[in-house]
Amino acid sequence: MKVLLIGGGGREHALAWKLRQDNPQIELVVAPGNAGIAALARCVPIKAGDLDGLLSLARGERPDLTIVGPEGPLAAGIVDHFRAGGFAVFGPTMAAAQIETSKRFAKELMMRAGVPTAFASVHTTVTSAKRAVAALGTPLVVKASGLAAGKGVVVAETMTQAEWAIDTMLRDGAFGAAGSEVLVEEFMYGEELSVFGICDGERAVLMHGAQDYKRLSDGDRGPNTGGMGACAPISLDTPGMRASIERRIFEPTLAAMKEQGMPFTGLLYAGLMLTADGPKVVEFNCRFGDPETQVLLPLLESPLNDVMLAVARGESIAQVSPFVWKSGASVTTVLAAPGYPSHPRLGEVIEFPAEEVGGTDDQVYVFHAGTKEVDGKAVTAGGRVLSITAVARTVVAAAAASRGYAERVQFSGKQMRHDIGWREVQRARGAGAS
Ligand code: AMP
Ligand code: GLY
């Protein structure tokens, strides 16, 4: 089987690793890939945003399956183009990708379908947005409706912050078209959980829930990032919780998408808040999460390639069994460039611990995120540089192993958190685990 994988981050390295794990004979082409992926696959220097380049690559390579990692090409309609070209591609159409690319679309869909989510109103003028803020009271959340690379969400504790966010988005156009429409949203209290479902347009096979640590610094302080680490499984994600996520969130969402003539195929990522009233949707993404993928795939016993191929071919996954998972826990710690998230400084040489140069043993997985090879050495080439996953019998051990390895990797100005998984570690310690 030949697979074309699009993207070049930690998520794609984990996907490439899993595909090869499922089928060691697989022929894997990755565009553009990174220095870590290059050890597993043939990397082709075509950017994920270059749709024409990718299409002509596919015409030359004739892959049996194409998997799209990032949201950018999905938002630009890569799935529609590949399907029109006769290629089996895993991901949603441009229309279905709106569930991530337009927060207004997602909110209206959820409200119509009765999917639990925070109350929100949509605004295109400063006056009406500020009126909604005054009516709702703080804390509240102001969100740019379009794709804003994770930066278009402001949790406002005060009226001044809320008004500043509205002025920045609607008056000053800080996010361009993505912020020309904003949502003023009720604040939800609780812990967050990311749940992935592989969807065939009608049904979903769900993965374990994971928790993403989005803030830059220890203790959940500092600015929001793309994710500084993740942990799975999560003990709050009980069988009862699972059933409710499936029945109240995935099923009605997929039914509503189908009813609108845009059935969702690919990976639907539900970002949830576990509130006192049950799980509610914070946001949907139309692709695998990063860094959640880096903790989930090393724990996943079941193969992924067959189910992804079935979805890409437009087949039903009704007969696919629930995923089987390894026991134990998985934690990933992200190493970020100096200046990340606002102004990452790149081009630093990365020194790996001598005994495990860029490789993996059976407990620690070094997933490359923003790296490239220069003169035989890996150098930093993106804001998030590496994602160090450890799988162990307990979450306490996995967190320690991930942190320990991450601390031994060196590059100038390295940033990392030392407390990834703390919520689950605290629960495990409370339950008497070591
Ligand atoms: P989003 O890009 O919509 O996932 O938002 C980024 C982060 O902002 C989320 O992961 C939450 O931590 C926070 N957030 C977004 N919406 C809400 C909400 N309605 N209530 C509380 N926190 C929220
Ligand atoms: N981990 C957050 C995201 O992938 O959007």
Task: Compute the distance between CA of residue 132 and CA of residue 141 in angstroms, rounded to an integer.
Answer: 11
Taking CB atoms and a 6 Å cutoff, what residues make up the pocket around ligand 2?
Answer: 212, 227, 285, 289-290, 292
Residue 214 Cβ < 6 Å to ligand 1: yes
Q: Is the pLDDT of residue 180 over 60?
A: yes
Q: Helix count (H) and strand count (E) of the chain? A: 14, 22
Residue showing tokens 């200046």: 339
Q: Distance between the two ends of the chain, CA-based, in angstroms?
A: 43
Q: Is residue 19 part of a domain?
A: yes
The closest alpha carbon to 348, from 337, 359, 358, belongs to 337
Q: Which atom of ligand 1 is nearest to the CA of 189?
A: 21
Residue 106 Cβ < 6 Å to ligand 1: no
Q: Which atom of ligand 1 is nearest to the CA of 214?
A: 10
pLDDT digits (tens, 9 = 90+) for 388-400: 999 999 999 999 9
Task: Compute the distance between CA of residue 402 and CA of residue 386 in angstroms, rounded to an integer.
Answer: 12
Q: Supply the pLDDT for residue 361.
A: 45
pLDDT digits (tens, 9 = 90+) for 279-297: 999 999 999 999 999 999 9
Of 186, 220, 239, which one is at a domain's C-terminal end? 186
What does the block give as tokens for 151? 């930066």
Cα(291) to centroid(ligand 2), Å = 7
Q: Is the pLDDT of residue 182 over 80?
A: yes
Cα(131) to centroid(ligand 2), Å = 31
Of 186, 215, 236, which one is at a domain's C-terminal end? 186
Q: Is residue 162 part of a domain?
A: yes
Residue 94 Cβ < 6 Å to ligand 1: no
Residue 391 Cβ < 6 Å to ligand 1: no
Cβ atoms of 3 and 64 closer than 8 Å = yes
What does the block give as tokens for 280? 């509610």
Which DSSP category does 410 fall into? B
Shared domain check, 129 and 202:
no
Mutational pocket test of ligand 1: of 283, 292, 423, the residue with most ligand atoms within 8 Å of the beta carbon? 283
Calculate the alpha carbon distances from 5 to 43, 320, 418 in Å: 9, 23, 31
pLDDT digits (tens, 9 = 90+) for 125-154: 999 999 999 999 999 999 988 887 767 889
Average pLDDT in the chain:
94
Ligand 1, atom 7, residue with closest C-alpha: 153
Q: Supply the pLDDT for residue 356.
A: 55
Q: Which atom of ligand 1 is nearest to the CA of 188?
A: 20
pLDDT digits (tens, 9 = 90+) for 95-129: 999 999 999 999 999 999 999 999 999 999 999 99
Q: Do β-strands 191-200 and 265-275 pair in parallel, antiparallel, or remain unpaired?
A: antiparallel
Residue 188 Cβ < 6 Å to ligand 1: yes
Ligand whose nearest atom lies closest to the CA of 291 = 2
Number of domains the chain contains: 3
Which alpha helices (DSSP H) does 274-416 contain, by range? 292-296, 305-312, 395-408
Q: What is the percent of the chain where pLDDT is above 90?
A: 90
Q: What is the mean pLDDT of residues 255-261?
A: 97
Q: Do β-strands 27-32 and 42-43 pair in parallel, antiparallel, or remain unpaired?
A: parallel
Mutational pocket test of ligand 1: of 141, 277, 286, the residue with most ligand atoms within 8 Å of the beta carbon? 141
Q: Is residue 113 part of a domain?
A: no
CATH for 384 = 3.30.470.20
Shared domain check, 157 and 260:
no
Shared domain check, 160 and 252:
no
Q: Which atom of ligand 1 is nearest to the CA of 143?
A: 3
Amino acid at 351: E
Q: Is residue 25 part of a domain?
A: yes
Shared domain check, 229 and 133:
no
Q: Which residues pair with 349 in a beta bridge?
A: 379
The closest alpha carbon to 191, from 178, 210, 175, belongs to 210
Cα(294) to centroid(ligand 2), Å = 11
Q: Is residue 329 part of a domain?
A: yes
Domain span including residue 31: 2-93
pLDDT digits (tens, 9 = 90+) for 351-372: 999 765 444 445 899 999 999 9
Q: Which atom of ligand 1 is nearest to the CA of 282?
A: 16
Q: Is residue 98 part of a domain?
A: no
Q: Is the pLDDT of residue 245 over 80?
A: yes
Residue showing tokens 């022929």: 27
Cβ atoms of 402 and 364 closer than 8 Å = yes
Cα(153) to centroid(ligand 1), Å = 7
Of 51, 78, 93, which one is at a domain's C-terminal end? 93
Shared domain check, 234 and 147:
no
Amino acid at 137: G
Using only C-alpha atoms, the chain has a radius of gyration, in whole angstroms, of 21
Q: Supply the pLDDT for residue 144.
A: 87
The closest alpha carbon to 379, from 5, 34, 141, 8, belongs to 34
Residue 187 Cβ < 6 Å to ligand 1: yes
Q: Supply the pLDDT for residue 176.
A: 77
Residue 148 Cβ < 6 Å to ligand 1: no
Residue 100 Cβ < 6 Å to ligand 1: no
Cβ atoms of 195 and 204 closer than 8 Å = no
CATH for 133 = 3.30.1490.20
Shared domain check, 128 and 231:
no
Least confident span in 47-61, 76-90, 142-156, 376-390: 142-156
pLDDT digits (tens, 9 = 90+) for 317-341: 999 999 999 999 999 999 999 999 9
The closest alpha carbon to 211, from 187, 195, 197, belongs to 195
Shared domain check, 331 and 216:
yes
Task: Compute the distance between CA of residue 345 and CA of residue 359 in angstroms, rounded to an integer.
Answer: 25
Shared domain check, 219 and 167:
no
Shared domain check, 172 and 74:
no
Q: Supply the pLDDT for residue 433.
A: 56
Q: Is residue 361 part of a domain?
A: yes
Shared domain check, 16 and 42:
yes
Cα(297) to centroid(ligand 2), Å = 15
CATH for 69 = 3.40.50.20
Q: Supply the pLDDT for residue 118.
A: 97
Q: What is the mean pLDDT of residues 225-239?
A: 96
Ligand whose nearest atom lies closest to the CA of 156 = 1
Shared domain check, 163 and 253:
no
The closest alpha carbon to 168, from 145, 186, 144, belongs to 144
Cα(225) to centroid(ligand 1), Å = 12
Q: Is residue 100 part of a domain?
A: no
Shared domain check, 232 and 198:
yes
Task: Compute the distance between CA of residue 271 and CA of residue 289 in angstroms, rounded to an integer.
Answer: 10
